[in-house]
Amino acid sequence: MTTTPTTDVPMVHADCVSKSFGSNEVLKSISLTVKRGEVLCLVGPSGSGKSTFLRCINHLERVNAGRLTVDGVLVGYEERGDKLYELHPREAARQRRDIGMVFQRFNLFPHMTALENIIEAPMRVKGIKKADAVIRAKELLARVGLGHKADAYPAHLSGGQQQRVAIARALAMDPKLMLFDEPTSALDPELVGEVLDVMKALAASGMTMIVVTHEMGFAREVADSLVFMDGGVVVESGDPHEVLANPQHQRTKAFLSKVL
C-alpha cells in the first residue's frame, strides 16, 4: 500500500479471491495476474463469474476472501497495521478514476450529447476546465472514429457508435487499466467489427485491458493471455492460441465446441 508502484508490480493481482452473494458463492478462490500492458481475455459460459470479477476490480462489489490489488493497491479495503478496514466511498471513487469500464449495454447518459458524456467526469471529478476537457474529448472522439458525432445524442447513434463513445468516455479519465464487460454482446452482428477495431487499436497503444468476451477471434488475435472460467473457478489459462487450439480440460473443450 505504501510502496510506490514500479513497473514490476502487476497491474492486477488476484490471490485466492472469493465472492458470495448470500449463500451463493460466485467466485471461488480466483488467482490470476495481469501485467502492465497485457491484454487478458476472460471467457466462459454465462454465470461463470467473469462479470462479477470485473466488478470487484472496479470496487462495484467487495470481495469476501483473498487479496485483490490494482497497481499494488488493495481493492475494497484499507490495510492499517494488521487490520482491514472497509474503504470509504470517497476513497473508492478516487481509486476508480484510474480504472476505465465499458459496459455491455453502453450506459451512456441519454440526456447528454456524445461530447457532454465524455467531458462530464473529467470536469466534475478531476476539476478540468471545460475548454480543456472539450479539446481532449474531441481528440478522443476522433480516435474512435466519431469526430463528426460530437453533438449527437446517444439515441441518434447506432449501438456500435454508442459503444465507441462509451470507450472514449472511459479513456477521458486517462485510466491505467480498462475493463470491458462483454462490450459487443448487445450489438447487431454487423456492428461488432467497428467496436473490436477500436479495442484492437487501444491494445496496440499499450493499454492494460481485461476483456470479458465471447469473441474468440478477438481473443486469438489481440489477447496476450486467455482465462477460461466456469462455475466461479479458473478452469484453464494460458496463451490464447494454445488454449483455443488445444484445450486441456473437458469443460473448456465443451464450451469451445459451442462457440467456435
Partner 1 sequence: MVVSSTGSDRPATQTTASPDGGRRAEPIKAIRLKHPGRIVFAVILIAALALFLIDASQRQAYGWDNFGKYIFDRRISQAALNTLLLTVYSMAIAIVLGITLAVMRLSDNPVVKGVAWLYLWVFRGTPVYVQLVFWGLIATIYSTIDIGIPFTAPWISLETKAVIDVFWLAVIGLSLNEAAYMAEIVRAGILSVDPGQEEASTALGMSWLQTMRRVIIPQAMRIIIPPTGNEVISMLKTTSLVAAVPYSFDLYGRSRDISSVIFDPIPLLLVASAWYLLFTSILMIGQYFLEKRFSRGIGQARPDKKGGNDTDSVPLVTAATPAITIDRSEGGKG
| Residue ranges in contact with partner 1 by CB under 8 A | 58, 60, 89-90, 93-94, 96-97, 99-101, 103, 105, 107-111, 120-121, 124-125, 139, 142-149, 152-153, 155-158, 160-161, 164, 166, 169-170, 173, 191, 193-194, 197-198, 201-202, 204-207
Closest CA to 41 of 175, 236, 260: 236
Size of the chain, expressed as the number of residues it contains: 260
Asked if residue 50 lies in contact with residue 185, where contact means CB atoms within 8 angstroms, the answer is no
Asked if residue 173 lies in contact with residue 125, where contact means CB atoms within 8 angstroms, the answer is yes
The x, y and z cell numbers of residue 140, run together, are 478522443
Helix residue ranges per DSSP H, the chain: 50-57, 89-96, 114-126, 130-143, 159-171, 189-204, 216-222, 240-245, 250-259
Distances from the Cα of 62 to the Cα of 57, 66, 87, 99, 231, angstroms: 9, 11, 10, 16, 19
Residue 12: Cβ within 10 Å count? 23
CB of 29 to partner 1, least distance (A): 26
Taking the least distance from each CB to partner 1, the nearer of 92 and 256 is 92
CB of 145 to partner 1, least distance (A): 4
Is residue 149 helix, strand or coil? helix
Taking the least distance from each CB to partner 1, the nearer of 25 and 197 is 197
Residue 39: Cβ within 10 Å count? 26
Pairwise CA distance, residues 168 & 200, whole Å: 14
CB of 185 to partner 1, least distance (A): 14
CB of 156 to partner 1, least distance (A): 5
CB of 235 to partner 1, least distance (A): 28
CB of 27 to partner 1, least distance (A): 19
Taking the least distance from each CB to partner 1, the nearer of 65 and 125 is 125
CB of 248 to partner 1, least distance (A): 35
Residue at grid coordinates 459503444: 163
Taking the least distance from each CB to partner 1, the nearer of 174 and 239 is 174
Taking the least distance from each CB to partner 1, the nearer of 194 and 230 is 194
Taking the least distance from each CB to partner 1, the nearer of 58 and 252 is 58
Taking the least distance from each CB to partner 1, the nearer of 111 and 130 is 111
Pairwise CA distance, residues 163 & 178, whole Å: 14
